[in-house]
Amino acid sequence: MNLSQHDWTKQLEEDNNSVVLDVRTQNEVDNGIIPNALHIDIYKGQEFIDKLHKLDKSKSYFVYCKSGGRSGQACAIMNQLGFNKAYNLVGGISEWQGNMTIQKIKD
């Protein structure tokens, strides 16, 4: 399901059984990530699928990428795998108005 930032953050705040999922590349994450987000790179193909299989399907997943395209694909994949509550952040982190943290860039 596609949600605006307002609706995405509102539902996230109201859901105590939720996970924020960042599906961008490591290079993108190094420039900033929504605090406490779980990072699983959608470009990793089968590794991405394998990691999804290990997640708790009873939780709600608030998914984002840079602009909303990859996270939309991730939500569709998650729905196919039996996740009933996967929410795509329309506009992605490019339009994010909330807090972000910078990860320590690896040498």
* Residue closest to 92 by CA, chosen among 8, 27, 13, 31: 8
| pLDDT tens-digit readout, 16-61 | 999 999 999 999 999 899 989 999 999 999 999 999 999 999 999 9
**One-letter identity of residue 87:** Y
Q: Tell me if 31 sits within 8 A of 17, measured CB to CB.
A: no
Predicted model pTM: 0.91
65 as an active site residue: the answer is yes
Name the one residue in this structure whose structure tokens are 């109201």: 14
Per the structure, the complete domain to which residue 87 belongs is given by 2-95
Does residue 104 fall inside a structural domain? no
Does residue 102 fall inside a structural domain? no
Does residue 107 fall inside a structural domain? no
Does residue 103 fall inside a structural domain? no
Specify the pLDDT at position 103: 57
Does residue 100 fall inside a structural domain? no
**How confident is residue 99, by pLDDT bands cut at 50, 70 and 90?**
confident
Catalytic residue among 3, 42, 52, 65: 65
Q: Tell me if 21 sits within 8 A of 64, measured CB to CB.
A: yes
Does residue 101 fall inside a structural domain? no
Higher pLDDT, 83 or 103: 83
* Neighbour order of strands in the sheet with 86-89: 2-3, 86-89, 60-64, 18-22, 38-39
User: In total, how many domains does the chain have?
Assistant: 1
